[in-house]
Amino acid sequence: MKFGTVALIGRPNVGKSTLLNQLLKQKVAIVSDKPQTTRTRILGVVHTPGAQIALLDTPGLHKPQHLLNRRMVRTTVETLEEADVLYVLMDTTSSPGPGDLLVLDHVKGAIRKRPRPVILVLNKVDLVNKLKLLPVMENYARLFAWTEVVPVSAEIGDNVDRLLSVTVAHLPEGDAGYGEDTVTDQSMRTLAAEMIREKILLQTYEEVPYSVAVEIDAFVEEGKLARISATILVERESHKMILIGKHGERLKEIGTEARKELEAIFEMKVFLQLWVKVREAWREDEHALMELGY
């Protein structure tokens, strides 16, 4: 039996959470086109005959400006230091940039402390013309002495089976760390809060996505029905107005989208109530961050 942890590392928006969901064939992490979508570490366990892979999705590495962001980066660095295998994700639709070099610096630092297999996962190949892919791959391959280089499409699932078999080859020997039924460490409450936040990220722009947090006030299961009440925190009155929208239309739309997603994930009927509250500078507030699980 083989068992080990694999950290998914990369700059924001490269597709770490998309890859986690694809490898699990189940949605446990939210995904959006806004950077800094993931704020915590998320476990996903892949079970294969003879191996168990504990994938650890992380917040994208960036230069932090708020206490929240410092926490996010700390989480990623800790995960990077403790994992048995590293996936470093980079994006084939662009050349290596400053964000990737920052990631590489962190990886080199961690490897110096304890050498481990480092797999370069070149993502989003579905967006790149096959003829242009090879030079781009070579550019990325030159950056570091990667243990393996695997191009994939996290979105479509291209080549992810190969990524799994390459990963198993580099996992340490050991007994399974999790029970057969364990898929993730995300509770139903956390999933509910995150799916609501995802729908907000998909419908808002500029500062608003960063200023949003979701708190579950009540989660009551009654047979095949879940009654969920949640508060959306924003940092400014103007953000609250944007979220609510004209005649409450936007909040209603967010609620509908979140409810549909949660009904699919939980396989239950969901009754969802949303409230919006202003809490100034919560991203700098130690107490607020603790309450929100950050």
Ligand X SMILES: Nc1nc2c(ncn2[C@@H]2O[C@H](COP(=O)(O)OP(=O)(O)OP(=O)(O)O)[C@@H](O)[C@H]2O)c(=O)[nH]1
Q: CA 62 to CA 35: how far, in whole Å? A: 10
> Is the Cβ–Cβ distance between 17 and 44 less than 8 Å?
no
Residue 249: exposed, middle, or buried by beta-carbon count in 10 A (0-12, 13-18, 19+)? exposed
Size of the site for ligand X (CB under 6 A): 24
Tell me whether residue 44 or residue 60 sits nearer to ligand X (CB atom).
60
Give φ, ψ of 271 to 5 degrees: -115, 115
Under rule CB under 6 A, residue 16 binds ligand X: yes
Q: Which of 17, 36, 79, 204 binds Mg ion (CB under 5 A)?
A: 17
Q: Which of 75, 79, 123, 211 binds ligand X (CB under 6 A)?
A: 123
Under rule CB under 6 A, residue 90 binds ligand X: no
Min dist CB 16 to ligand X, Å, is 4
Checking DSSP bridges between strand 269-278 and strand 225-234, what pairing results, if any?
A: parallel
Q: At what angle do helices 249-266 and 237-244 cross, to 10 degrees?
A: 70
Q: Which residues pair with 277 in a beta bridge?
A: 233
Min dist CB 173 to Mg ion, Å, is 30
Under rule CB under 6 A, residue 13 binds ligand X: yes
Interior angle at CA 38, CA 35 and CA 43, nearest 5? 150
Interior angle at CA 90, CA 88 and CA 96, nearest 5? 120
Under rule CB under 6 A, residue 151 binds ligand X: no
Q: Considering only 48-56, 124-132, 167-175, 208-216, which stretch makes contact with ligand X by CB under 6 A?
A: 124-132
Out of ligand X, Mg ion, none, which partner does residue 35 contact, by CB within 5 to 8 A per kind?
A: ligand X
Q: Interface with Mg ion by CB under 5 A: which residues?
A: 16-17, 37-38
Q: Interface with ligand X by CB under 6 A: which residues?
A: 10, 12-18, 31-33, 35-38, 59-60, 123-124, 126-127, 153-155
